[in-house]
Structure 1
Amino acid sequence: MDGVPFVSQNPIPPGGTYHYQFPLKQSGTYWLHSHYGLQEQLLASAPLILASEEQNAKADEQYTVLLSDYSFTAPAKILQQLKVGMRGMGGMSMKKIPATQKLYAQKWDESGGFARTVVEGELPDTDIKYDALIANRRRVDHPEVFRVKPGHSVLLRIIAGSAATNFFVNTEALSGQLTAVDGKDVEPVSGNYFQLGIAQRIDLLIKVPDQGGAFPIVAQGEGTKQQCGVVLATENAKVPKIPFQAEFAAAGLDNSQELQLKAKNPLPEKPVDRSLPCVLGGNMAKYYWTINGVVYPNRDSLDVKEGERVEIVFRNDTGMTHPMHLHGHDVQVTEIDGTKVQGALRDTVIVPPKSTIKVIFDANNPGVWAFHCHILYHAAVGMFTVLKYGGADTQFWHPEKTLTELSSGG
């Protein structure tokens, strides 16, 4: 079951309905969104929380935070301007920026976990400067306030439902435990500053101090000073204002967090039957993005057989970070730039610039599955392919129509 038009089903026409019935085989933090045209940029998305008794027992209270990016410019116009080399707010050219500057970045410390630090560096490449970043459809001048009780443990399910913005999540005065990514449990890792790539999810377990108070949870966009967030506040606590902008812009996402994550329930040991290369290429100036040197539409699917243990080798030859998302499967990170790990199970893998990451998965879900960069505009210009099982029903797979719809305004 999937919802990608002209890959796994036909699109739902205006005024039409489509009823999904499926068994729940997993639990955790998920989300759903339109895969038609550029509708995702128009906030056609929502959280999908599949709670379990085990997860419910983790905390006294649970809240969900959906992070998004918003532009008053129509997404079709944004894409058109990107294609002709215009970038920034609504596609307008960005102002000249210094070669290096102070940036907020993530650091790892064995005793304290993940924390924020200040480094000197270059701004990461990003596609679009948005009018606003929003959390649960609200800007920072009017954040959602979750009224919590002193001493309670709170499970925050945070979703990067953005079209083109990666985030850093700052729990500020509260240290939390990262307990799950993309709906899958990891060995808990502490800290107060976490990376969150587009389409990824993190579960953070936070304890409210016994004395109570108000505690902002702030998300800052990669490569920008822009912020959004929510507030945890006990009864009668004064809610502080969250600044629209941080003092420094955020650095680019990197592998520092992924290197520390370990799956709580890793895939069983098994030899790899098939290794698939996934070379990420493209050109920012000409604005095209490729998988294995080609743009979609094409019939160059990644082919597997049911029952195989499959390895994917991501190699990012570009200067941008790409959040690579495989539909219908969870993958486990096994190697990061030559360092072997028994990493997290997840469905979206951040591949930083000039990085090589290996993942494995079991081919146990026959079908034709979308596989793409989750930066909406990268997928729209061709950074998209399919994973196809031998003997799979391909009646809905029409690549040319897929690209037409991806590139439209929705």
Structure 2
Amino acid sequence: MALAYLADRCVSYAKATVPSADHTIRIAPISLEIAPGKVIKTTGYNGTVPGPLLRLHEGKPAVINVINESGYLNLVHWHGLIIPSQQDGSAEEGSQAIPPGGSLRYAFTPGPTGTRWYHSHAMAMTDLTRSTYSGEFGFLVVEPTHDPGRYDREVTLAAHHWEGHWVSMQDIRKGPPPDNGLEAMYRSATLGERMLGHGEPIRVRQGERVLFRLLNASGSMGISLALSGHRFTVIALDGNPVPTPMTVDAVELDVAERADVIVEMNNPGVWVFGSTDEDDRNMGMGVIIEYADRGGDPQWVAPPKAPWNYTAFGRTSPAAMPDEVIDLKFEKIPGGRGRYNRWTINGKSWPDTNPLFTVHRGKRYRLVMNNNSGDTHPVHLHRHSFEITKIGNKATSGVMKDTISLPRYSAAEVDFVADNPGNTLFHCHHQDHMDEGFAGLIIYG
């Protein structure tokens, strides 16, 4: 009751003191044609998928009016922003939900700079047309006060899977053990607005330096992306500049992760920019890159296989020592054939996980995370950035993120400073895993 009261007061204050919104987002059903004759009935922002690119400015207060015509209780989460919990767009933290037909004004000062995004934070449960399974997502870029201008142009590309359906993995004889419960599978995919080969190509000129802002906006599937005939120089992960920019053949992004990459356009032709997984490309995950004055069929050349590891972008020097170490263990309670799984953090599922642990302002906390399951988890911390300090047995420092992918049966450690008071949600960004209990609140003491 107290949190709802605070959220109501915060929203009322914003409405009373700010005369107009900088942006308006309308959540409503749309028919999305991702290929000729293939129309997806989904929900989008302002009639498009992705929604409009929001450009906010570092340190300049912003007001965004959201109108909910989705037909269900909804919220918009401002992913990667360090803002008050009442404005964060998570009901678990006390943010106000928007009823069908209602509206809500979010008011906050955006930061940090870089590639952020916004998306629904509603529960979906068994409905594979809602929340992050739907088209409710868009890029949000926080512009710095000073821009070094290291590129000639910018392209935003969001990956998404469509036409989800539930399957029992044992029925298709692949995936986790036979006692596993239902999992979401998909029939089509996009990188950008349409399926591979069915949208306008991205036209480039030889010699251009192109910044690609890449986002995995899928509900529950990790991806690997490559641009045939070219390499990526990774300059930022989750919007945060990396200490050691590296040139790679492919970029791996778990759900909710972003990567900023520079591509030198130095190999004229017509190329496929798409998933390194053939099944994903066949479902449509890709886009054509076409050089000026070049034609012909687009070419796909598989990149060399190489492991993806966050430590390649970090420093070898040790991170600062934490004030406290928190152990977190992630496990699955299999639902069995035709039923849904449950997920636990230290043996408990949401809401019994609360509070997950208590922090004190200004202290540095190290989360020692062990994924004791056969599933991969993109773990997201709301309203804070964290520093990766260990992957497996390899120590590192300097890579700042808000989401980290933990492959099956793996371990990682991250540090964050408790510098943004308020309830803070910690969860797996696979929609089904979160809905099945993989979440907990960190509270400030």
Q: Determine if the alignment matches structure 1 residue 95 to structure 2 residue 151.
A: no
User: 2:147 & 2:158 partners in 1: Cα distance?
Assistant: 19
CA distance in 2, matches of 1:53, 1:180: 17
Letter in 2 for 1:354: Y
Deviation at 1:97, TM superposition (A): 5.2
Whether 1:160 aligns to 2:237 is no
Deviation of 1:327 (Å)? 0.4
Q: 2:227 aligns with which of 171, 176, 179?
A: 171
- Once residues 269 and 280 of structure 2 are traced to their aligned partners in structure 1, the CA distance between those partners, rounded to angstroms, is 29
Which residue matches 2:380? Answer: 325
RMSD: 3.1
Residue 261, structure 1, aligned to residue 313, structure 2: yes
**Aligned equivalent of 1:279:** 329
Cα distance per residue 1:53-101 (max 9 Å; x no partner) = 655602101000011111154xxxx4xx6xxxx24xxxxx6533599xx
Residues 1:20 and 2:106 aligned together: yes
Does 1:11 pair with 2:97? yes
Q: Which amino acid aligns with 1:96?
A: R
In structure 2, relative to structure 1, the CA distance for the partners of 1:281 and 1:364 (3 Å cut) is: same
Aligned residue pairs, count: 342
Matches of 2:139 and 2:145 in 1, distance apart?
19
1:36 to 95, 117, 122: 122
Question: Take 1:356 and 1:137, find their aligned partners in 2: how far apart are those partners?
Answer: 35
4-13 or 320-329: which moved more? 4-13
Instruction: Supply the distance in 2 between the matched residues of 1:192 and 1:169 (Cα, whole angstroms).
Output: 9
TM-score by length of 2: 0.70
Shift of 1:175: 1.3
Are the structure 2 counterparts of residues 228 and 358 from structure 1 closer, same or farther at C-alpha, using a change threshold of 3 Å? Answer: same
Q: Report the CA distance between 1:185 and its aligned residue.
A: 0.4
Aligned to 1:191: 248
Residues 1-10 or 153-162, more deviating: 1-10
Q: Is the 8 A contact 1:195 1:257 kept in 2?
A: no
Give, in whole Å, the separation in 1 of the partners of 2:409 and 2:213: 30
Q: CA deviation at 1:224?
A: 6.0
Return the alpha-carbon distance in structure 2 between the equivalents of residues 383 and 315 of structure 1.
13
**How far off its partner does 1:256 sit?**
3.7
Which residue, 242, 253, 260 being the options, matches 1:203?
Answer: 260
Q: 1:149 aligns with which of 205, 211, 219?
A: 205
Q: Match for 1:369: what amino acid?
A: T
8 Å CA contact 1:29, 1:182 repeated in 2: yes
What is the aligned-residue identity percentage?
Answer: 25
Runs of 5+ unmatched residues, structure 1: 88-92, 100-124, 391-410
Q: Contact 2:164–2:184 (CA<8 Å) still a contact in 1?
A: no
**Deviation sequence 1:153-198 (CA, Å, 0-9, x none):** 0000000011011000112210120110001001210012121111
Query: Structure 1's 317 and 97: CA in aligned 2 closer, same or farther, altered over 3 A?
Result: closer
CA contact (8 A) 2:390 2:396 kept: yes
Give a deviation string over 1:90-139, Cα, whole Å, max 9, x none. xxx6533599xxxxxxxxxxxxxxxxxxxxxxxxx993321111112311
The answer to whether the 8 A contact 1:166-1:222 is kept is no
Q: CA, structure 1 residues 313+221, in 2 after alignment: closer, same or farther (shift >3 Å)?
A: farther
Answering whether residue 350 of structure 2 is matched by residue 296 of structure 1, we say yes
- Quickly say closer, same or farther: Cα 1:97–1:25, change in 2 above 3 A: closer
The aligned counterpart of 1:387 is: 442
- Cα drift, residue 241 of structure 1: 4.5
Question: Structure 1 pair 293/272, CA: closer, same or farther in 2 (3 Å)?
Answer: same
Indicate the residue corresponding to 1:135 in structure 2: 191
Query: TM-score, structure 1 length as denominator?
Result: 0.76
Higher relative contact order (CA 8 A, sep 6+): 1
